[in-house]
Structure 1
Amino acid sequence: MMNEPICLIENSDSGKLHTNQKALDILASINQAVVVVSVVGLYRTGKSYLMNKLAGKMKGFSLGSTVQSHTKGIWMWCVPHPTKHDHTLVLLDTEGLGDVEKGDQNNDCWIFCLAVLLSSTFVYNSMNTIDQTAVERLHYVTKLSERIKIKTNSEDDSSDFSRYFPGFVWTVRDFTLQLEIDGQPVTEDQYLDNALQLKKGYSPNVQQYNFPRECVRNFFPSRKCFIFDRPAKKEWLPKLEKLPENKLEPSFVAQTKKFCTYVFAISQTKTVQGGHIVNGRMLGNLATTFVESICSGAIPCLENAVLALAQSENSAAVDQAAMYYEEAMNKSVVFPTESVEELSEMHAQIEKEATEVFMKRSFEDEQSEFQVLLMKKINSCYARFCQKNERVSEDHCKAKIMDLFSNLEKEVLDGVYCQPGGFNQFKKVRGDLLEKYRAIPGKGVKADAVLQEFLKSKETVAASICQVDQSLSKKEKEVEAERAKAEAAAMEVKVMQESQKALEQMIKDLERTYKENMRQLKKKMEEDREKLLEEVQKALDQKLKEQQDLLLNEFQEKADRLNREINELKQELEECLKKRRNITEILRDALLHIKSLFH
């Protein structure tokens, strides 16, 4: 999709952040779900090399070869996901933290926060080893609770971070030590876990030591570590992006492949609160919302961002579904239809498909506001199709009648039937023409109504011909007059019945619309409930695992605090299950709401 990266969030010399419209346009064109991988770390630590490897390229993100930081802001590269064929992989390379030329730690914190907020996998890149100095350099993680809010009305909701934050991967570059602890070999993950172990005690020094470690442990739902040897000889490092693999250290090449395989396999599809899947367009909207919040001096709030995103997506979903309905009806319906039922059946099928289009894109429409709006738009559009169907039928029938009866009318004007026996001759010719008219196919729903109107307009002509026919007796003329009245009355009744039938069909269409919308709403609510249950369950599992680790290391007080969070999650899980059991009751309320707004 992209031959090279583009800056997504620009960082001016004054530290002012703003989104790049060209990058947003690229994201807006991506309707696939996205997997977002971001990398952060100190400048000149080789972050960009790893991102280029994830993109499957030798070069792309700027590596640089001097002590100056090359990347400014956050750069984006969208490529097809190598293993998830219906996903796009979005790579975000951030400017190096701690750039001495910039000297703005506040700006670094916002870059760090944005990388966390936008990604589904967050890679922290550092050099040499994970020691106290390395952990202290990760102090940006301790600022997250001050710079990110989950809910608007909550003072401190950092306990919910792991529910919405990305997976955490720590990559350690140019690692030269032995992977051993107390003389025993350990895995990379065990090495990381050991580095994040907490100290016992309450002194300021202990609290300062524990704080960044607790943040990493509590904020991210998963942790993974990769260590890398030096990639090549020192003199070749400035040309790293041009070096073929056979010039690189084999262990470095192998570890890089292992890292990429892990990221491709484990990185989750980007979602927002409620487990709603994010595509490129939505990711761009989120980036814009977060940057605007930062620039206004506000703290980015996930709840507000999701609500704003839902409003935008739901409004667009209504327009998309309504357009789908109108275009599909225009392609499917050949005017005029033979009956109102024929048009109704097409409407029902296409309305079902259009509602599915809406349901697929919409989310957080808890009051069915946008669903009701779509119902109204489709109903209004259907009414126009019904009117067009009648109009086309009427025009078609009038043209056929004019064509069939033109010669008869000329003969009447010429006085052909103003002679003895002329009425019976007129009646026979008219009867033959009526049979021909009724045999014409494709006249549509107004065939009888147009015929009735025509015959009614010619009643005086027929009566006059009957009255002047001297071959008919007075009694015969009276019988003909009564017969004409009876035929006119029967035709009027037939037309009224067809009109009533059309009205009843409209009522049936509305009832069917309600039922179909309720069926799809029920399905969507159940799917959303499952997503929410999965989201809560993941957070619960992570906290239970963390609690077990704390208990094993005899941190009872911290485990007790975590237990309160676990109980809150269990309560939310139970409420989710309860709502799922009462889905019928919820739907009934939604149906009443929709009907009240619809009428």
Structure 2
Amino acid sequence: MSSEIQMPEPICLIENEKGKGLVVQPEALRLLAGITQPMVVVAIAGPYRSGKSYLLNRLAGQRRGFSLGSSVRAHTKGIWMWCVPHPCKPGHTLVLLDTEGLGDTEKGDTKNDTWIFVLAVLLSSTLIYNSKGTIDQQAMDNLHYVLKLTECVQVKTAPEEAGDEQLGLDRHALYFPTFVWAVRDFTLQLEVDGKEISEDEYLENALKLKDGSSQEAQSYNRLRECIHQLFSERKCFVFDQPARKRDLPRLEELPDEMLDPEFQQQVENFCSYMRQNCPPKTISGGHKITGSRLGTLVVSYVEAIQSGAVPCLENAVLALAEIENSEVVKEAVALYRERMEQELPTETTQELLELHARCEEEATRLFTARAFAESREKFRAELTVQLEALKDHFWIQNERASHEKCTAALQELFQDLDARINDGVYFVSGGYQLFQRDQQALVEQYWELPGKGVKADTVLQDFLQKRESMARTILKVDRELMEKEEQIKNLKAQCERAEQEKEAERKREAESSEMESLVGESSRRRKRI
């Protein structure tokens, strides 16, 4: 929903239920939770039947949306919400809040009116106060809700010390929205002493303080001083009556040609200014409000009102900070995990420690940039604990990844060697030396492989140890074959020596026989002589 906001019509955000009071609507919270964009929140408050809904519909770029009603009774109950894409701020959502009309005599509940006004102030980044006629003393008296703001809204949990009233007003002003007074059915001329003045000057003249310290002056100044102090940024727009009185009940249906041209121009100027100048809703620390954050604030404020307590801005921000900081911790941990997994396994333990330090620093930077100042240290400590636990996890995982990678590498390298073993290549005389030579060559190839990790040596030793029995078998066969060859060689040598001795004996016998022949022949010769 963050990119495509699908809210074709307003929905109730806070219902004003009879007998129950103000109740936050779950469906509205669900829709808000899906909006991740920063929000420009414009709320409108003012007397009932003063035309508030019409202005918001025009801000939304529509003629219909918030119900206008056509009777003298207040039509809007509670606070209704309409989220639309911001027409001038890409990537932002414009949130329009239409509030229940103030001062309905049939309702007769001024306390309820006060809380409606308080919520409009607390939830908005720009508050439109909509009234009819002129900004006279009666109009100022109708805005008496401003006087109750400091009583109905607490900035800090600790009570203000005596003499800190001014400081308290200043603190409230930090949280309060831009103030826009929209004066409807305006009939006066914008001039003072015959000189034309602007709408803003008209408002500031109405807010001027009386000199003196009389009771009358103090009473006159009190509300005006509060407006000055609580709403440092102020703007005013005046609007002529939009059409003939008989056509007003069907104002949203009237075509442009039936609207007063001056009124049309005034509405166009109003919408143009509001769309271009209303700021995003922020809280302390400059954090921009998104849908889920706005929902958290709504629940926090309404729960305080329901409990009979005064809404505390510090508590609301703290509750929001707890939720947001918890989410930021999750994101930082996820970032750490992602970065670590991209680099594992490491070649050495030192590399793992250095990798942990880099990823921890990156995760901490994310947390520091996104975390709320409130409860930041608490969640920073939680982040540290989780990262340390993950480091231990990755220590084990690093060893496991290294073990798996090295094991797979060795199995692949030794496939051909194992095939030669199965084929009996090494079960020959001298086969063990051949086996050792081939195995050593594979070990050298293994050490040349990159990215083996911290278990490279351990896995190799275990791998070779498991193959030791096969090596011993090859060695045994080799020795047995060599012994047999040696025996055969010895037998051959013995046979050869025996044959040589026989040959020598034959030679000796032949020589002896020849000698005897010669001796006999010599003897016969002597006898003949």
Aligned to 1:364: 373
2:245 corresponds to which letter in structure 1?
K
Report whether the alignment pairs 1:241 with 2:257: no
Partner of 2:330: 319
- 1:350/1:52 CA distance change after superposition, 3 Å: farther
| Structure 2 counterpart of 1:166 | 177
Give me the whole-angstrom Cα distance separating, in 2, the residues matched to 1:410 and 1:89.
72
1:129–1:451 distance in 2 versus 1, CA, 3 Å: same
- Which residue of 380, 385, 394 corresponds with 1:376? 385
Counterparts in 2 of 1:415 and 1:188: CA distance versus 1, 3 Å: closer
Q: Which residue is 1:75 aligned to?
A: 80
Structure 1 residues 258 and 449 mapped into 2: Cα distance closer, same or farther (>3 Å)? same
1:185-334 → structure 2 map (5 Å cutoff): 185-327=196-338, 332=342
**Shift in alpha-carbon separation, 1:351–1:243, aligned structure 2, 3 A:** farther
Amino acid at match of 1:429: D
SS in 2 for 1:18: strand
Relative to 1, partners in 2 of residues 1:404 and 1:208: Cα closer, same or farther, differing over 3 Å?
closer
1:119 aligns with 2:124: yes
Alpha-carbon distance between aligned partners in 1 of 2:188 and 2:424, rounded to the nearest angstrom: 118
Partner of 1:448: 457
| Equivalent in 142, 162, 173 of residue 137 of structure 1 | 142
Whole-angstrom distance in 2 between the partners of 1:405 and 1:177: 99
Residue by residue over 1:228-267, the C-alpha shift from the partner in whole angstroms, topping out at 9 and shown as x without a partner, is: 1000111211111112222211111111111112222322
Q: Helix, strand or coil for the counterpart of 1:75?
A: strand
Match of 2:67 in 1: 62
Residues 1:460 and 1:103: Cα distance change in structure 2 (over 3 Å): same
Q: Which residue of 2 aligns with 1:46?
A: 51
What is the CA–CA distance in structure 2 between the aligned matches of 1:302 and 1:213, rounded to whole Å? Answer: 23
RMSD: 3.1
The superposition leaves residues 511-548 of structure 1 with CA deviations (integer Å, 9 ceiling, x where unpaired) of xxxxxxxxxxxxxxxxxxxxxxxxxxxxxxxxxxxxxx
- Between stretches 343-352 and 114-123, larger displacement belongs to 343-352
- Please give the alpha-carbon distance, in whole angstroms, between the structure 2 residues aligned to 1:305 and 1:288: 9
Q: Which stretch shifts more, 109-118 or 243-252?
A: 243-252
Relative to structure 1, the CA distance from residue 341 to residue 246 in structure 2 (aligned partners, 3 Å threshold; closer, same or farther) is farther
Q: Does 1:431 align with 2:440?
A: yes
Gaps of 5+ in 1: 474-599
Does residue 13 of structure 1 match 2:22?
Answer: no
Q: 1:391 to 1:225 in 2, by over 3 A?
A: same
- Distance change >3 Å, CA 408–CA 258, structure 1 → 2: closer
Shift of 1:420: 5.6
Of residues 219-228 and 275-284 in structure 1, the stretch that sits farther from structure 2 once superposed is: 275-284
Amino acid at match of 2:312: C
How far does residue 92 in structure 1 lie from its aligned partner after superposition?
0.8
Post-superposition shift, 1:368? 2.5
Aligned to 1:563: none
Question: Residue 13 of structure 1: CA displacement?
Answer: 1.9
Instruction: Please state how far the C-alpha of 1:291 moved relative to its aligned partner.
Output: 0.6
What is the CA distance between 1:336 and its match in structure 2? 5.3
- The offset of 1:190, in angstroms, is 1.8
- Match of residue 96, structure 1, among 82, 101, 104: 101
2: distance between equivalents of 1:98 and 1:370? Answer: 46
State the distance in 1 between where 2:190 and 2:340 align. Answer: 67
Greater Cα offset, 23-32 or 395-404: 395-404
**Correspondence for 2:152 among 144, 147, 150:** 147
Q: Structure 1 length normalisation: TM-score?
A: 0.71
> Quick check: 2:318–2:374 contact (8 Å CA) kept in 1?
no
Number of aligned positions between the proteins: 471
Does the C-alpha gap of structure 1 residues 322 and 184 become closer, same or farther in structure 2, counting only changes over 3 Å?
same
Compute the displacement of 1:304 (Å).
1.3
Deviations 1:314-370 (A, max 9, x none): 01111123234435655x45x756677887787677656544543443111566332
8 Å contact kept, 2:325–2:376: no
Alpha-carbon distance change, 366 to 433 in structure 1, aligned in 2, over 3 angstroms = same
- Residues of 2 paired with 1:402 and 1:152: CA distance? 67
Once the two structures are TM-superposed, the CA of residue 271 in structure 1 deviates from its matched residue by 1.4
Residue range with higher mean Cα deviation, 358-367 or 86-95 = 358-367
Between the aligned partners of 1:37 and 1:177, the Cα distance in structure 2 is 27
AA aligned to 2:256 is: E
Structure 2 CA distance for aligned equivalents of residues 15 and 426 of structure 1: 89
Computing the radius of gyration from Cα coordinates, the structure with the larger value is: 2
TM-superposed CA distance for 1:7, in Å, is 1.0
Does the Cα contact within 8 Å between 2:200 and 2:235 map onto a contact in 1?
yes
1:177 is paired with a residue whose SS is: coil
CA distance in structure 2 between the aligned counterparts of 1:178 and 1:54, rounded to whole angstroms: 26
Change (3 A) 1:271 1:133: same
CA contact (8 A) 1:180 1:186 kept: yes
Q: Distance in 2 between matches of 1:195 and 1:128?
A: 13
| Contact persistence 1:41–1:47 (CA under 8 A) | yes
Identity %: 52
Any gaps of 5 or more consecutive residues in structure 2? 484-529
Other-structure match for 2:38: 33
Specify whether residues 438 and 47 from structure 1 end up closer, same or farther in structure 2 by C-alpha distance, changes over 3 A only.
Answer: same
CA change 1:414–1:99 in 2 (3 A) is same
Q: Is the 8 A contact 2:183 2:238 kept in 1?
A: yes
1:367-397 CA distance string (max 9 Å, x none): 6332232243334335434433432332343
Q: Per-residue CA shift, 1:62-109, capped at 9, x if unaligned?
A: 111111111111111111122111221111110100112211000000
Q: Return the alpha-carbon distance in structure 2 between the equivalents of residues 407 and 162 of structure 1.
A: 80
Query: TM-score when scaled to structure 2?
Result: 0.80
The corresponding residue for 2:507 is none
Q: Which amino acid in 2 is paired with 1:302?
A: L
Question: Is the Cα contact below 8 Å between 1:273 and 1:303 reproduced in 2?
Answer: no
Call closer, same or farther: CA 1:61–1:387 in 2, change over 3 Å: same
What residue is the counterpart of 1:576 in the other structure?
A: none
Deviations 1:490-516 (A, max 9, x none): xxxxxxxxxxxxxxxxxxxxxxxxxxx
